[in-house]
Amino acid sequence: MEVYLDNAATTRVCPEAADIAYKVMTECYGNPSSTHTKGREAKTYLDTARSQIAAALGCSASEVYFTSCGSESDVWAITKGAESMSRRGKHIISSAVEHDAVRKTLEDLGARGFEVTYLAPEKDGAISVESVKNALREDTILVTLMMVNNETGGITDIAGIAKMLKAEGSKALLHTDAVQGFMKVPFSAKKLGADMISISGHKIHAPKGIGALYIKTGVKIKPLIRGGAQESGMRAGTEAMPQIAAFGKAAEIAFAGMQDNCEKMARLRALAADRLCADIPEALIIGGGAPHILSVSLPGWRSEVLMNFLEAESIYVSRSSACKKGGRSHVLEAMHLPAQVIDGAIRISFSRYSTEDDVLALCSALKRAHDTLAHR
């Protein structure tokens, strides 16, 4: 039996999304910018997908712009958001636990004269409203913080931060990387209060290669990719219609079943945490909050050794972010965890397709690994 518990890295494409992607690739393959019948047919799929994403996000379709991935959405929002506000100041607030797409973009902006304050996380990996408030300055122009930490599952109160910024009279733009939050924790873009929200398709059972950026009506930023007039002139390049149609369908399905799916994942997470702590006295649960992510450490055992043991039994988890190769997790280091805890940490992440049998197989295998593998 294959047990896939690395859904924070990517998810399998749901049948409905795969079916519509294949149909668009093989039958409705026109360019949505073309004015002939095949083009208009493709445009219908484009409009439908945009409306499906907007419904799931809780916003207007005109506020949704398709991109190639969550990383592109992050780079666009942060780079062009900072540039659009640079006359007011050059101070940006972020955190020490962001995804590398955010961290490296901020490094680039730092090299261009912007100043970035990196906030320390709470014990769950989230960022507190108070820490953002304390870092706020007159020249702060952008706050960019992830909604759900991709390694610990810690949930940052983006709505609370938005309310605080308004109460403080700050003109700073608020961007959130919601790649791990979209369809995993309930939120509505209109109620959230963020100016820009990044999301990704392959985290919600759509194909890879598609993402979107929500830009609130009235927020003025320039395109990251210039050229044609696609996406209302905001993102050049012929739209990837198979991926877009699949993203829309996946979002529609995920939105319809979100409450049940989140409750199911939360139950599986609790079962795994309880079972591991009961079977392995040394097991340490790190962070928490989101229903689909469980970070657990076996201090004294190395995560790569544990992963190899699990993989030999066709059980798949990860060390930390799948986008990060080698080295210790910057997220866990920012939480000031001991080296042995960081080195023994693995991330278990669930989807609506995960089962209780998957969890029991994982826990049983980790118990065997604990009992048989050498440790320090």
Mean pLDDT computed over 16-42: 98
Strand partners, 326: none
pLDDT confidence of residue 1:
87
Q: What is the pLDDT of residue 190?
A: 95
> What pLDDT shows up at residue 285?
98
Q: Which residue type does 114 have? A: F
Residue spans of alpha helices (H) in 86-209: 100-111, 129-135, 158-167, 189-192
What pLDDT is attached to residue 320? 66
3-11+258-372 and 15-256 in the same fold:
no
Angle at 75 between CA 74 and CA 79, to 5 degrees: 120
Indicate the residue type of 233.
Answer: G
Q: pLDDT confidence of 326, banded at 50, 70, 90?
A: low
* Mean per-residue pLDDT, 152-180: 99
pLDDT at position 140 over 80: yes
Query: In this predicted structure, what is the pLDDT of residue 266?
Result: 99
Q: Is the dihedral of CA 357, 319, 10, 254 positive or negative?
A: positive
CA atoms within 13 A on the CB side of 274: 7
Q: What is the pLDDT of residue 321?
A: 54
CATH number belonging to the domain at 15-256, selected among 1.20.120.10, 3.50.50.60, 1.10.3210.10, 3.40.640.10 = 3.40.640.10
Spatial distance between the Cα atoms of 300 and 376, rounded to a whole number of angstroms = 5
Task: Compute the average pLDDT of residues 330-357.
Answer: 97
Q: What is the DSSP string of 10-61?
A: --PPPHHHHHHHHHHHHTS---TT--SHHHHHHHHHHHHHHHHHHHHHTS-G
Q: Which range (123-132, 317-326, 332-341, 357-366) has the least confidence?
A: 317-326
What's the pLDDT band for 375 if we cut at 50, 70, 90? low
In the predicted model, is pLDDT for residue 171 greater than 60?
Answer: yes
Is the confidence at residue 324, as pLDDT, over 90?
no
Average pLDDT value for residue range 20-36? 98
**pLDDT at res. 110:** 98
Residue 62 has what DSSP assignment?
Answer: G
User: What are the tens digits of pLDDT across the range 99-110?
Assistant: 999 999 999 999
**Residue owning tokens 């829309």:** 248
Phi, psi of 44 (to 5 degrees): -60, -45
What does CATH list as the number for 3-11+258-372?
A: 3.90.1150.10
Q: Is a pLDDT exceeding 80 seen at residue 344? A: yes
122: Cα within 13 Å, side-chain hemisphere: 18
The yes-or-no answer on residue 323 being catalytic is yes
Using an 8 Å Cβ cutoff, are 180 and 155 in contact?
no
Q: Give the whole-angstrom CA distance, residue 184 versus residue 254.
A: 9
Q: How many helices (H) and strands (E) does the chain have?
A: 14, 12
- pTM, to two decimals: 0.96
Q: Is 295 helix (H, G, I), strand (E, B) or coil?
A: strand
| E runs forming strands in the chain | 3-4, 64-67, 91-95, 115-119, 140-146, 173-177, 196-200, 211-215, 284-286, 293-297, 315-316, 345-349
Active-site entry in 28, 262, 277, 323: 323
User: What is the longest distance spanned by two Cα atoms in the chain?
Assistant: 68
Neighbours of 263 (CB within 10 A): 11
Query: Which DSSP state fits 63?
Result: G
Least confident of 44-48, 144-148, 208-212, 322-326: 322-326
The closest of 57, 81, 99, 52 to 199, measured between CA atoms, is 57
For residue 138, pLDDT over 80 is answered with yes
What is the SS3 assignment for 71? helix
pLDDT value of position 327: 74
E strand or H helix at 369, and its extent? helix 356-372
User: What residue segments make up the domains of the chain, in order of their start?
Assistant: 3-11+258-372, 15-256
**Structural contact between residues 198 and 176, judged by C-beta atoms closer than 8 angstroms:** yes
Average pLDDT, the chain: 97
Q: Which residues pair with 346 in a beta bridge?
A: 296
Residue 114 pLDDT level (bands cut at 50, 70, 90): very high
Kindly tell me if the per-residue pLDDT of 68 is higher than 80.
yes
Which amino acid type is present at position 248?
G
User: Rounded CA gap, 241 and 44, in Å?
Assistant: 11
Average pLDDT over residues 49-66: 99
pLDDT at 263: 98
